[in-house]
Structure 1
Amino acid sequence: MERDAHMAEQTTYTFITRSVGETQRLAETIGKMAEPGDVLTLSGDLGAGKTSFTQGLARGLGVPGVVNSPTFTIIKEYAGHLPLYHMDVYRMEDMGEDLGFDEYFYGDGMTVVEWPQMIAEQLPPERCDIVITRGDGEERTFVFTPYGSRYQIVCEAIANEHPSN
């Protein structure tokens, strides 16, 4: 884990995983700390590991069964000890369309948004943005940018549980 002060007050957290299992364990840690209204955004190329990460979150939330990408449905909902709302907004063509995002962002579960740049203006100001990049083989680099004190606390807790590797 590295902390980079790109801006005076904005800290980022970098985590490296070397397998799908490590990626899922990293995300599971977050799922176990989830609170209603938590919002994470996931950015990364196709195959970067967004779905694997979300599967780990789901495990941390106690979601049973298979979790896969909502590519053709935009939003999938899963029941766990908190609901998981998994959004893939890549194919959103009409930015003016009201899909009731606020009901998810400020609702009773955790929301994960893949391809958040497609709805950037609709995202809540307090959230954690996660950018995933692929390395060699199954290696992935995750850069977390927390917006708001809740997400700063979560990132610190993750850094303590998953120290620099």
Structure 2
Amino acid sequence: MNTIIELRKEDDTINLAKKLAPSLKCGDVIALFGELGVGKTFFTKHLCRFLDVTENVSSPSYVLMNEYSGKFPIFHFDFFRLDSKDELLELGLYDIFDQGVTIIEWPEIADNLLPENTIRIEFSFEDSYRKVRIVEKLT
């Protein structure tokens, strides 16, 4: 499935998170692509809220991973500062996938290491709005 959605205001991003949340289950991996400031963390905050996370959701840029409790465990990664795939393997990434929902910002370094059924969400800037392309790889 390949879907393109225009996000003209913050509520559009919130509604996208609200729409996606009920379909998620343990073992799902979401890879968030896009430039700095395009809304990846904002989307993640609201997705977590709709998955019953009550904790403050913040970017894991400096700690690489935040874990949240909600409907099921949520593992929020930020790979922006990683330099190699070896660093990913040291994080125990594969051990985490089946334990909850995994959300990855800046997943480019891991793209070919992610499960086949990873949900790719690609955020981009347009003239006066943001656009998101959702690609679900069905297995």
- Scaled by the length of structure 2, what TM-score is found? 0.91
Aligned CA RMSD, in angstroms, stands at 1.4
Q: CA deviation at 1:93?
A: 1.8
1:103 alignment partner in structure 2: 95
Corresponding residue number in structure 1 for 2:74: 84
| Deviation sequence 1:63-102 (CA, Å, 0-9, x none) | 0132111100111011101111111011112321321111
Equivalent residue, structure 2, for 1:127: 118
Q: 2:84–2:109: 8 Å Cα contact kept in structure 1?
A: no
Query: Is the partner of 1:118 in helix, strand or coil?
Result: helix
Structure 2 spans left out of the alignment, 5+ residues: none
RCO comparison, higher one (Cα < 8 Å, 6+): 2
Q: Secondary structure at the match of 2:46?
A: helix
In 1, Cα distance between equivalents of 2:56 and 2:11: 15
Question: Which is higher, the Rg of structure 1 or of structure 2?
Answer: 1
Percent of residue pairs bearing the same amino acid type: 32
Q: Are the counterparts in 2 of residues 41 and 112 from structure 1 also a CA contact under 8 Å?
A: yes
Q: Aligned runs of 1:45-64 on 2, under 5 Å?
A: 45-64=35-54
Moved over 3 A (4+): none
Please give the TM-score of this superposition, normalised by the length of structure 1. 0.77
- The aligned residue for residue 117 of structure 1 is 108
Q: 2:3 aligns with which of 13, 31, 42?
A: 13
Matches of 1:53 and 1:147, distance apart in 2: 20
Check the 8 A contact 2:121/2:133 in 1, yes or no: yes
Number of aligned residue pairs: give it. Answer: 137
Indicate the residue corresponding to 2:135 in structure 1. Answer: 145
> Which blocks of at least 5 consecutive residues in structure 1 are unaligned?
1-10, 150-165
Checking the alignment, whether the CA contact within 8 Å between 2:79 and 2:106 is kept in structure 1 is yes
CA contact (8 A) 1:28 1:58 kept: no
